[in-house]
């Protein structure tokens, strides 16, 4: 019995289109019943059908024929980390094949032939990183089927993605897991599993134990959500500058036809295999002229341009031998940062102008206060302001009430001005 395969199917986290999960049911049933799922099938032929190979391609340009040799890596069926008995090679083996093609001087470029619903999350990141780090051009060709979930993640690492028909299905970006609660089955056979944990191992398998009790939240938070975030961020990184990031369902697991995928930026073109080979040949010409590399910025360079990296929200940048390469999304980010800086500068200039006006008003108010205070002192020193001046009915003193009223008025105005200035200074 292939217990390793059953364990992988039942216990792994998957980046796969849900409809394809049902395809495992006959396989699991045959294994559990002791029958060989591959009985009567030519396993050698099955393995050969999934094996990577090379192909020659002739392209004519300006009356001149060019001979190309491409390494072809097949991503067919369910993506698995390890090689399968029935033929499909796992992501680890495919990574080694890509490295071999990249180092082969007789290979000009690499074609990923994809028809896959996705598969096991384990091992997918390794294959994605291998594709991203190739020196030679890589094109992904979705051939009469789908590039869903993990297969979409793998395709996104290529320089270009071409889909053969509009009926192909692209996307399904997200992580999922199926789990089986088989306790009742085993108990019906008289088997009951019991677990004992060490005193200091209280958190061991806590997410799984909660899952078996019907609480999926700990497993989602600890396992699924981090993997899903890595998946989404990987797609954004690999397709940056091409994606319609504001699309509502793009990163919610939605599946798209080729025309829809083209609109949201998941693929670059729709065309047949010959079109895909022409595009790969063009990428080869471009690579030969620009000496493509995938060199990343060193820590020293990162420290030197720390503010630039922070503005771009990036930890690394692509670079050629001639210098750093910025994509459209990064250029938009720089443009937005400059626009925001200009807006802040305008606000600062306006604030400085308002401050100058306020200081001018304050200076004028202080001058008015000084004038009023001088007038008040002058009035207080006049004979009519003295409290010892006798009151007579003579006409010489008829102006005293008027003078007193004027002094009171200036005193009140002065106090009001002082109160306003005090409020302004606060």
Q: Is 239 within the bounds of a domain? A: yes
The range of the structural domain enclosing residue 380 comes to 334-386+400-425
Task: Name the helix (H) or strand (E) containing 232.
Answer: helix 225-238
- Residues 58 and 164 grouped into a single domain: yes
* Measured distance CA(70)–CA(370) in Å, rounded: 91
What is the sign, positive or negative, of the torsion defined by CA atoms of 393, 395, 397, 398? Answer: positive
Distances from the Cα of 359 to the Cα of 38, 350, 425, 426, angstroms: 90, 14, 10, 13
What is the value of pTM for the model shown? 0.63
Whether 392 is covered by a domain: the verdict is: no
Consecutive H or E run containing 62: none
Bridge partners of 110, per DSSP, are 71, 138
Same domain for 164 and 48: yes
- Listed residues 237, 269, 290: the one ending a domain: 290
User: 138 and 271 in one domain?
Assistant: yes
Same domain, yes or no: 266 and 319: no
Q: Are residues 248 and 99 in the same domain?
A: yes
Query: How far apart (Å, rounded) are the C-alpha atoms in residues 283 and 111?
Result: 11
Quick one: CA torsion of 319, 324, 330, 336, rounded to 10 degrees?
A: 170
Q: Do 146 and 243 share a domain, yes or no? A: yes
Distances in whole angstroms, Cα of residue 386 to Cα of each of 90, 381, 391, 403, 410: 109, 8, 11, 11, 17
Number of domains, the chain: 3
Same structural domain, 94 and 243: yes
CA proximity to 128, closest of 161, 148, 150, 100 = 150
**179 and 151, same structural domain?**
yes
Last residue of a domain, one of 282, 310, 326: 326
198 belongs to a structural domain: yes
Cα 25 off chain centre by: 35
Residue 273 lies in a domain: yes
> Do 57 and 169 share a domain, yes or no?
yes
Asked, for residue 393, whether it belongs to a domain, the answer is no
Q: Please indicate, yes or no, whether residues 81 and 146 belong to a single structural domain of this protein.
A: yes
Closest CA to 331 of 298, 297, 315, 308: 308
Non-local (6+) Cβ contacts of 78 within 8 A are 16, 20, 23, 24, 88, 116, 117, 118, 119, 120
Select from 167, 135, 121 the least CA-distant residue to 13. Answer: 121
Residue 395 within any structural domain of the chain: no
Q: Going by C-beta distance under 8 Å and a sequence separation of 6 or more, which residues neighbour residue 2?
A: 31, 85
Q: What is the dihedral of CA 203, 204, 207, 213, to 10 degrees?
A: -90
The kind and range of the H/E element at 135 are none
Provide the phi-psi class of 194: left if phi over 0, else alpha when psi is between -120 and 50, else beta. beta
Is residue 394 in some structural domain?
A: no
300 lies in the same domain as 381: no
- The answer to the question of residue 391 being in a domain is no
pLDDT tens, N- to C-terminus, the chain (426 residues):
455 555 555 555 545 555 555 555 555 555 555 555 555 555 555 555 566 778 888 776 666 778 899 999 999 988 888 876 665 788 999 999 999 999 999 999 999 999 999 888 888 999 999 999 999 999 999 998 999 999 999 999 999 999 999 999 999 999 888 787 888 888 999 999 888 999 999 899 899 889 888 999 999 999 899 999 999 999 999 998 899 999 999 999 999 999 999 999 999 999 999 999 999 999 988 876 554 444 444 444 556 677 777 777 776 777 665 667 777 777 878 888 888 888 888 899 899 989 888 888 888 888 888 888 888 888 877 765 555 444 444 444 444 555 566 666 666 766 666 676 666 655
Residues 321 and 356 in one domain: no
CATH no. for residue 160? 3.90.226.10
Q: What pLDDT is recorded for position 186?
A: 87
């Amino acid at each position: 019995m292939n217990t390793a395969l059953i364990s992988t199917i039942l216990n792994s986290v998957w980046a796969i289109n849900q409809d394809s999960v049902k395809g495992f049911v006959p396989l699991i049933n045959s294994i559990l019943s002791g029958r060989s799922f591959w009985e009567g099938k030519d396993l050698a032929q099955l393995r050969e059908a999934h094996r990577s190979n090379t192909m020659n391609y002739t392209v004519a340009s300006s009356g001149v024929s060019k001979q190309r040799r491409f390494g072809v890596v097949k991503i067919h069926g369910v993506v698995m980390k390890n090689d399968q008995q029935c033929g499909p090679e796992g992501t680890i083996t495919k990574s080694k094949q890509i490295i071999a093609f990249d180092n082969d001087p007789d290979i000009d470029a690499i074609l990923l032939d994809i028809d896959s619903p996705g598969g096991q999350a384990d091992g997918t990141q390794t294959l994605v990183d291998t594709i991203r780090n190739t020196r030679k051009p890589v094109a992904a060709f979705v051939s009469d089927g789908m590039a869903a979930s993990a297969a979409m993640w793998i395709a996104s690492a290529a320089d270009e993605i071409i889909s053969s028909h509009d009926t192909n299905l692209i996307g399904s970006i997200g992580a999922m897991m199926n789990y089986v609660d088989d306790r009742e089955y085993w108990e019906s056979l008289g088997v009951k599993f019991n677990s004992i944990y060490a005193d200091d191992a209280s958190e061991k398998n806590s997410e799984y134990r909660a899952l078996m009790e019907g609480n999926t939240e700990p497993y989602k938070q600890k396992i699924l959500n981090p993997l899903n975030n890595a998946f989404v961020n990987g797609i954004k990184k690999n397709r940056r500058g091409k994606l319609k990031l504001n699309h509502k369902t793009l990163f919610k697991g939605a599946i798209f036809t080729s025309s829809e995928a083209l609109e949201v930026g998941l693929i670059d073109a729709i065309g047949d295999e010959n079109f895909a080979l022409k595009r790969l040949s063009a990428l080869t010409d471009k690579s030969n002229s620009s000496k493509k590399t995938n060199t990343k910025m060193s820590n020293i360079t990162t420290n030197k341009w720390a503010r630039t990296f922070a503005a771009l929200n990036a930890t690394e940048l692509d670079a050629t031998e001639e210098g750093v390469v910025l994509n459209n999304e990064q250029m938009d980010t720089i443009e937005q940062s400059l626009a925001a800086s200009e807006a802040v500068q305008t606000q600062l200039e306006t604030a400085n102008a308002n401050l100058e006006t306020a200081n001018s008003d304050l200076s004028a108010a202080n001058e008015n206060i000084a004038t009023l205070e001088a007038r008040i002192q002058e009035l207080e020193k006049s004979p009519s302001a003295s409290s010892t001046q006798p009151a007579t009915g003579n006409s010489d003193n008829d102006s005293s009430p008027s003078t007193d009223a004027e002094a009171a008025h200036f005193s009140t105005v002065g106090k009001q001005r002082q109160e306003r200035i005090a409020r302004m200074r606060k």
